[in-house]
Amino acid sequence: MLDSKDLSDDTLIEIAHAANSQSEAVPAAQRIDCSPENIEQGLARLVLSLVELLRQVLERQAIRRMEGGSLAEDQVEKMGEALMVLEAKVHELAANFGLTPADLNIDLGPLGHLLEK
């Protein structure tokens, strides 16, 4: 495991500058604002974004399993229903915090957006 003691001062400074420039690359409007006034909404946005990402991953996996023939018809039905309920719940919770589905697609700067559009 790499320890900060193993890195030269110049390397640490370069890493700090790179991290700082990456944070500046993300427009302020796209950052999650976790100020004391809206900490609940910022935290909800982060958590719901991750839940939505996991839901989409599970959906793709279910589709692959369905197309591969490894699921019975009743299993496909149950998975589809569970994923639809989860999606509706994420949207409901987002609305409770004044968020839209588009708000859950966090901009990761040079990496792109968290969710597929």
pLDDT tens across 40-77, in order? 888 899 999 999 999 999 999 999 999 999 989 999 99
At 4 the pLDDT is 47
Which pTM value belongs to this model?
Answer: 0.65
Count CB atoms within 10 A of the CB of residue 70: 9
- Domain layout of the chain by residue ranges: 38-105
> In which band, very low, low, confident or very high, does the pLDDT at 1 lie, cut at 50, 70 and 90?
very low
For the record, the structure tokens of 27 come out as 């427009």
Residues 45/103, Cβ–Cβ less than 8 Å: yes
List % helix, strand, coil for the chain (3-state, nearest 5). 75, 0, 25
The three-state secondary structure class of 107 is strand
